[in-house]
Structure 1
Amino acid sequence: MNVGRLWLTVAILLVAINLRPAMAALGPLLDLIEHATGLDATGAGLLTTLPVFLMGVFALLARFLRKTLGEVNGVTFGVVLIMLACASRAYWGSSIGLLASAAVVGLGIALVQALLPGFIKGQFGATTGRVMGFYATAIMGGAAIAAASAARLNELLGWQYTLAVWALPALLALIGWKASTTGRELAVAPASQQAPMHFWRYRRAWSLMLFFGLSTGVYTLILAWLPPFYIELGQSRQLAGDLLAGLTLTEVIAGMLVVSLVGKYPDRRPLLLVALGCTLLGLAIMIMSPVSLALAAIVLLGLGVGALFPLSLILAMDHLEQPAFAGDLAAFVQGGGYMIASLMPFLAGWVKREFTNLSLAWVGVFVTVFAITLLAFKFSPASYRKAFSDK
């Protein structure tokens, strides 16, 4: 890898690190936020649901965004929005302010996630799978750092400044991105020169969307509700945050394993099935023995969900060779997928409000993961070309 590509990869990782802390830092502080703002469990669930839903809405507009903003400028604008939304939480800590900042964060993340995969495909070609693995792993790494630091920073800064501090790494990412992408926009073939593919016509596109949406929904539900679940079981706030941090750190390790193994498995199904199996075992422990076997649950869930996220993105990008089409497919999959995923933290909040605990939510997630395990068997490499053929 030449120096230019190395710095570009570093810049992509800096950007990716900022795509989850605005949500991941909420979980360990959620009871404090509810007390300070008057939000109930359903409203608190919206703090994660709203940005994830908006991530989906704007991902569906990826082709339009690519034509109007361009990939480089669109990602730049997205990082700026994340930075401003995080900074606003220092001074606007009401329920309305938090929900507004959640919406702006969702828009910023959506711009990045809608445009960056196509940019990566155009810049890295045959090594796209490896770079996408690093990208997805960095996303989870940012979540791990935010979860681990939230309770400790809260003791020093209070919950509002703990949420706002994530404007600083966003600023660093903005500087790195701008420095490494000067002149890069022209290196990608303009998508406007080609007729778009209408992915809503293809059953495989919907299957990929459903798989991504449900597997990402498991991730977002855990991100939002794992710390409150352990706090309601009598564990300390710091331990609850550490458990989420440990889980997300395990996700990072799983992501790195995916990066190292993905080139050896053109058929992604063996990796997918191992990841899904780990997730099912982890959820079974969460249902039956969440406290005494917490470490086992955290490790299994981290390995499973941590591998599923990059694999589901790589799987979508595998289906089409042309960068613009692959980016559009990734946007379609992420668009509907994030809308599906956004429902799960909200539904978990509703379960908590109606049944006073989250145990039933884990049962629902277990059933969901079992269903997508059956779906995973369909994704053979031999089916890729046929899946998007008009014949």
Structure 2
Amino acid sequence: MKQDTPVQRPLWLALSIILVGLNLRPTLAAIGPLLDQLRHATGMSFSDASLLTTLPVATMGAGAFLGSWLERRAGARQGVVIALLLILLSSALRWLPASFGALLATALMAGVGIALAQALIPGFIKQHFPHKVSALMGFYITAIMGGASLAAAGAPWLASHSAHWQNGLAAWAALAILALPCWLLSAPRGAPGGGSAARAPQFSQIPRAWLLAFYFGIGTAVYASSLAWLPALFVQLGWSQQQGGLMLSFMTGMEVVSGLTIPLLSARSHDMRGWLTLVLLAVLAGLLGMVLAPHGGLLWVALLGLGVGGLFPLTMILTLHHYEDARNAGQLSAFVQGIGYLIAAVAPFAAGWIRDATSSFNLAWLCLALLIAGLLVLTRRFAPQGYAEAMQTPAAVAAQTR
């Protein structure tokens, strides 16, 4: 098989990866701060509005498997180009008159684009930056969270300072316009990963792959629910829509801090369990705090942001550590994200349904807190000396013990 072209300008490639990351949340994060205008313009219920986050997250799950297929057929370079074009188009179409159907269609289109990029970038990082996986994954995921923070704060500001509130949804097409040429100029023209040598292991037969997917899915469920409903929670408490958006921006700002520092601090450790426990405890405290003492919002949102911001990159780094081979690691990452996002997609809809049924988000936060407590118990299973054995099928393990 033809080898990938060596990276000639790694700094520019790293910058391009960061720019791609900036594009992977604004189409979702801009919805929550503008929820009142969206509901007024379209007549949506809270359950309907939850679909604008739930269905794209589910699409991100299904699309992750498409990303693995696309990498084998066309290569990561072309796959990311397609992803950015889909994100660009989905944002630009939001300048059209708003309707629930149109918003849902653009959200689904964005979900496919996000899924493709997220399925391709982790393996691409491991392949081209094998000795800097933790650091670059930290920067990349920080960029994802930074894009969410930018949209959460910028969407209501753009809506209130322009003639059309749709500008708060559509302006993020500019980020894709910036990222596309940078990626095309810096990403190496590698051969597609087709052929028998690139065939992925049967992850559906490996319990550890499912465990990683569940772990990723629950952490992402907390993030997706916060993205969809955190502004609405504070509006319900009497805050303004702008203030609710700023709280989401503050949370994602804390995610940026954690996403940047935790991977760097943990880079020398092959055992992620201590770091995972730390960030899970922060998430748990944030969720319980919003139920028990919601008016201490800044503290709980800060803890939630710091916890989720560290959990996302640590889970992806943990997944990549399970294989030395970059292609297998990338394909495992795609499987974990595919199943994980399908799990996470349930959470925003369930939270919206609970809000309609109980007039409160408290039960939703308590359910998420219970799931995070479960992840704390599961964390002890990720001992690094067991990675190789854990990635074998039960049949292979049984054959070795005969």
- TM more than 0.5: yes
**Shift, 1:121, TM fit:** 1.3
Partner of 1:268: 272
**Shift, 1:348, TM fit:** 0.5
How has the CA–CA distance of structure 1 residues 191 and 92 changed in structure 2, closer, same or farther, with 3 Å as cutoff? farther
Partner of 1:259: 263
Partner of 1:166: 172
Q: 2:337 aligns with which of 331, 334, 338?
A: 334
**Shift, 1:150, TM fit:** 1.7
**Shift, 1:61, TM fit:** 3.0
Q: Which runs of 4+ in 1 moved over 6 A?
A: none
The separation in 2 between residues aligned to 1:100 and 1:379, in whole angstroms, is: 39
Q: Kindly provide the amino acid, as one letter, of the partner of residue 265 in structure 2.
A: L
The separation in 1 between residues aligned to 2:65 and 2:331, in whole angstroms, is: 8
The separation in 2 between residues aligned to 1:50 and 1:324, in whole angstroms, is: 29
The separation in 2 between residues aligned to 1:379 and 1:259, in whole angstroms, is: 17
Q: Deviations over 1:37-77 (max 9, x none)?
A: 11111110000111110110011233321122211101100
The separation in 1 between residues aligned to 2:167 and 2:196, in whole angstroms, is: 43
Q: Kindly provide the amino acid, as one letter, of the partner of residue 173 in structure 2.
A: A
**Alignment partner of 1:325 is 2:305:** no
The separation in 2 between residues aligned to 1:322 and 1:128, in whole angstroms, is: 13
The 5 Å alignment of 1:186-205 reads: 186=191, 192-205=196-209
List gaps (5 residues or longer) in structure 2.
Answer: 1-6, 398-402
Q: 2:315 aligns with which of 303, 312, 316?
A: 312
List gaps (5 residues or longer) in structure 1.
Answer: none
Partner of 1:146: 151
Partner of 1:135: 140
**Shift, 1:262, TM fit:** 2.1
**Shift, 1:376, TM fit:** 1.1
How has the CA–CA distance of structure 1 residues 138 and 287 changed in structure 2, closer, same or farther, with 3 Å as cutoff? same
Partner of 2:301: 298
SS class of match (1:259): helix
How has the CA–CA distance of structure 1 residues 254 and 38 changed in structure 2, closer, same or farther, with 3 Å as cutoff? same
Q: 2:374 aligns with which of 362, 371, 381?
A: 371
**Shift, 1:190, TM fit:** 5.4
Contact persistence 1:275–1:303 (CA under 8 A): yes
Q: 2:386 aligns with which of 369, 383, 387?
A: 383
**Shift, 1:270, TM fit:** 0.6
Partner of 2:3: none
Q: Kindly provide the amino acid, as one letter, of the partner of residue 244 in structure 2.
A: A
The 5 Å alignment of 1:22-171 reads: 22-157=27-162, 158-171=164-177
How has the CA–CA distance of structure 1 residues 127 and 189 changed in structure 2, closer, same or farther, with 3 Å as cutoff? farther
TM-score (norm 1): 0.96
Contact persistence 1:133–1:314 (CA under 8 A): no
The separation in 1 between residues aligned to 2:39 and 2:86, in whole angstroms, is: 25
The separation in 1 between residues aligned to 2:66 and 2:327, in whole angstroms, is: 13
Partner of 2:4: none
Contact persistence 1:202–1:388 (CA under 8 A): yes
Q: Deviations over 1:286-341 (max 9, x none)?
A: 001111x1111011111101000111111111100111100110000000000001
The separation in 1 between residues aligned to 2:244 and 2:66, in whole angstroms, is: 37
Partner of 1:362: 365
Contact persistence 1:67–1:192 (CA under 8 A): no
Q: Kindly provide the amino acid, as one letter, of the partner of residue 365 in structure 2.
A: W
SS class of match (2:247): helix
**Shift, 1:132, TM fit:** 1.2
How many residues align structurally? 387
Partner of 2:9: 4
The separation in 2 between residues aligned to 1:332 and 1:319, in whole angstroms, is: 13
Q: Kindly provide the amino acid, as one letter, of the partner of residue 8 in structure 1.
A: L
Contact persistence 2:155–2:167 (CA under 8 A): no
Q: 1:288 aligns with which of 289, 292, 295?
A: 292
Q: 2:236 aligns with which of 232, 235, 248?
A: 232
Contact persistence 1:56–1:334 (CA under 8 A): yes
The separation in 2 between residues aligned to 1:92 and 1:110, in whole angstroms, is: 26
**Shift, 1:191, TM fit:** 6.2
Q: 1:217 aligns with which of 216, 221, 225?
A: 221
**Shift, 1:377, TM fit:** 1.2
The separation in 1 between residues aligned to 2:263 and 2:358, in whole angstroms, is: 41
**Shift, 1:152, TM fit:** 1.2
Contact persistence 2:254–2:309 (CA under 8 A): yes
Partner of 1:178: 184
The separation in 2 between residues aligned to 1:113 and 1:132, in whole angstroms, is: 11
The separation in 1 between residues aligned to 2:228 and 2:68, in whole angstroms, is: 30
The separation in 1 between residues aligned to 2:126 and 2:8, in whole angstroms, is: 18
Q: Which moved more, 1:301-310 or 1:156-165?
A: 156-165
How has the CA–CA distance of structure 1 residues 129 and 169 changed in structure 2, closer, same or farther, with 3 Å as cutoff? same
SS class of match (2:121): helix
User: What is the aligned-residue RMSD (CA, Å)?
Assistant: 1.4
